[in-house]
Structure 1
Amino acid sequence: MRINRVASLCLALLLAGCDQSAPEQKGFAGLGDQAAQFTPVVPGRVFSFPSDHGAHDGFRIEWWYVTANLKDPQGNDFGVQWTLFRSALKAMSQQPGWGNQTVWLGHAAVTSATAHHAAERYARGGVGQAGVNVAPFEAWIDDWRFASQAQDPLSDMQLSARDQSFAYQLHLTSSRPLVLQGDNGFSQKSEQGQASYYYSQPFFQASGTLQIDGQIYTVSGPAWLDREWSSQPLTANQTGWDWFSLHLDSGEHVMLYRMRQKDGAPYLTGTWITADGQAQTLRSEQIELVPQDTAKVAGRSMPVRWTIRIPDKQLDISLSALNPNAWMNLRIPYWEGPVRVSGSHGGRGYLEMTGY
């Protein structure tokens, strides 16, 4: 949702770790804090591309989030994650140099059935270490890159990251339209009105190479891009989320998220995406999302198998984690990894769980 990866999770409030005097954050990683000085998210925005692929000054948090479900020629399954977060320290137009009030955070990970590796990078804005350019499109932090030379960036992309235990270089292509989530891109996160602007490209096809623990694999498979920006996507009562992106073998796609609360029922919604890219918002009463088996991961009990029913779409499926130990042991830890889909529909996808 990434909320990317919500992403995965927004770095915004990693910044509590950059300032020892920062107050205790409210909601998951501070995402429920008041942000009155920043630009609010309101219904009715008219999106403009390619400019909306770039950064949005005035909003507090933002992310570019990619996941890929990959196979090698022998049928082995892998997952890849790449996320760039932008967090504004102040609501102002960003200046070049060290006076810049933006902090950038990168997350990258690879997962197989037996291994999971994650890494993070930090950068201050304004000095060239990280950022986003619109034309030609490039999002980067250090040598991690998500870039395109195409006039329509989302038609042809290059994605790369590396760390001590892993590396990947992927080529992503799509001829399908992107998808505006929620109400024409206005994605509500609570009954109180917290929201983000949110669009996706769920139709990417990826191919390239992946390296884990010194072993190199040739891989291919579907990939998913999430783009979100906001200033306060959670309430102080919300503790985290469970986010799903699913590539069904029928050609359809599903995005769901459940925003858990300290008190009361979770806020649940999603999107059903047809094979030709038509999107329909799913209301909570249309969705049955139930955690099933749990696993002990990093001292926490994590739901690594779920059932999902959407009767209106004749969907009745089980999701199981490719690797239950896909724990992102980073500054703000969370669970993120590929899942397998079985039942009325086959497929694969990604699951992110935060705030546990």
Structure 2
Amino acid sequence: MVYQILIVVALRLLLLAPLVIALAACDGSRQPVSASVSVAEAMSGDTVGYARADRVRDFVFPEDHGPHPAFKAEWWYVTGNVRATDGTDRRFGIQFTVFRSALAPDTVGARESGWGANQLYMAHTAIGDLEAERFYDEERFSRGAAGLAGASSDPVAAFLGPVRLEATGPADGPVPIRLTGSADGAAFDLEAEPVKPIVFQGDRGLSQKGAGEGNASYYYAQTRMATTGTITIGGEAIPVEGLTWLDREWSTSALSENQVGWDWFALHLDDGRDLMLYQLRQTDGTKDPLSKGSLVLEDGTKIHLDSGMYSLEPLATWSSPLGGDYPTRWRLRVPDQGIDLEVEAAFDEQELDATVRYWEGSVVVTGSAAGVGFLEMTGYADGLEGNARPTPTL
């Protein structure tokens, strides 16, 4: 989430580290990795010795487009909706995420062996073919090593094997990027140009997620990027255009004891506004007061939204064949802004059967405004095994 944070998955990588390294050390073949861990368990790791997001800071670019290894977890996250320009009008949802996760505080010092890398990387990629209702997704792991996986600020890049984000222009502010990746036989090659200023979420980029000092992330976004390129499915390269959204977060954080998951929305409205909201769900089903969001106007002005300024009401639920029930149609209201929307999955089967299962997919917006966007839901399949499909390791 934004909390895309999918930090749950990044920290789960720590728990799987010995297995991942063992697989990578073998013959490179695709091996199954399975897990049944709750969001709360995955986010309960040790935070001692790591830097914490515990105060408002100045952001500096291009440095902050790159990695922050003193923090435990970090991610480069892009979602969006594109449409074919070849006359077929086919529509696709895109997810690109590269996670960096530290195995130990950098105070431990460098290790001489290349196999002793202190950083592990994970990538999640997905392509939703909305008309065919076909979902392609893939998960990859690698240790941080030259040529395998890594991130940098000069030039701006984050990659794991063929899954790559690279700057295509000046990076001293909003950065134009190229995204490449593949998922279960499908692929994308996209270029995205920011059309709005950088948005600093939360309090000037400090986004509190849990009770206690340091249970927060540094978080900024490029909420609207004009995007062109190709989607390749079944060997056919389809020219596309549309909008994508970049989120950048780094953190050494943990869920509070009463938090069990979240629902996160990133919406591109046709009138030029961008809306991000998330609710942290508590054990009793209520919304944590630390939930928040933002409305970004057409000119880039940000309006901060506290938890009491919006409501989310599930209207319909999809039952995954792997177990777990996800709300895939919602009513979303921001009364002070005259916003009353229905947000519905473009199709229901957009669940990633990854190390930790979650739902992440394209949605359609109707009501007081029209648009498209992305929805992420975690914590609905906790403790339930998936199919544990083969996971590429590098």
TM interval, shorter chain, is over 0.9
Aligned to 1:295: 318
Amino acid at match of 1:292: L
State which drifts further: 58-67 or 264-273. Answer: 264-273
Matched, 1:230 2:244: no
Whole-Å separation in 1 of the counterparts to 2:83 and 2:143: 36
Describe the superposition over 1:69-91 as per-residue Cα deviations: whole angstroms up to 9, x where unpaired.
11113333210111000000111
Structure 1 residues 157 and 212: alpha-carbon distance in aligned structure 2, compared to 1, 3 A threshold: same
Aligned to 2:339: 315
Aligned to 1:117: 136
Aligned to 2:304: 281
1:1-356 equivalent positions in 2, closer than 5 A: 1-4=1-4, 6-7=5-6, 9-19=8-18, 27-28=39-40, 30-73=42-85, 74-92=88-106, 95=110, 97-113=114-130, 114-152=133-171, 154-192=174-212, 194-263=215-284, 265-267=286-288, 268-297=291-320, 298-356=322-380
Structure 2 spans left out of the alignment, 5+ residues:
20-35, 381-394
State which drifts further: 24-33 or 210-219. Answer: 24-33
Asked if structure 2 preserves the Cα contact closer than 8 Å seen for 1:2 and 1:9, the reply is no
Amino acid at match of 1:110: I
Amino acid at match of 1:279: K
**Secondary structure, counterpart of 2:106 in structure 1:** coil
Whole-Å separation in 2 of the counterparts to 1:195 and 1:137: 24
Whole-Å separation in 2 of the counterparts to 1:259 and 1:234: 9
State which drifts further: 59-68 or 191-200. Answer: 191-200
Describe the superposition over 1:284-319 as per-residue Cα deviations: whole angstroms up to 9, x where unpaired.
111011111001123221100011000111000000
Amino acid at match of 1:17: L
What fraction of aligned residue pairs are identical, expressed as a percent? 36
Aligned to 2:27: none
Whole-Å separation in 2 of the counterparts to 1:228 and 1:222: 20
Whole-Å separation in 2 of the counterparts to 1:238 and 1:34: 17
Deviation at 1:190, TM superposition (A): 2.8
State which drifts further: 158-167 or 287-296. Answer: 158-167
TM-score for both structures, normalised by structure 2? 0.84
**Secondary structure, counterpart of 1:312 in structure 2:** helix
State which drifts further: 215-224 or 186-195. Answer: 186-195
Whole-Å separation in 1 of the counterparts to 2:190 and 2:57: 32
Deviation at 1:135, TM superposition (A): 1.4
Deviation at 1:38, TM superposition (A): 1.3
RMSD: 2.0
Deviation at 1:214, TM superposition (A): 3.6
Structure with more contact order per residue of length (Cα contacts < 8 Å, sep ≥ 6)? 2
Asked if structure 2 preserves the Cα contact closer than 8 Å seen for 1:155 and 1:175, the reply is no
Structure 1 residues 264 and 257: alpha-carbon distance in aligned structure 2, compared to 1, 3 A threshold: same
**Secondary structure, counterpart of 1:266 in structure 2:** coil
TM-score for both structures, normalised by structure 1? 0.93
Structure 1 residues 26 and 341: alpha-carbon distance in aligned structure 2, compared to 1, 3 A threshold: closer
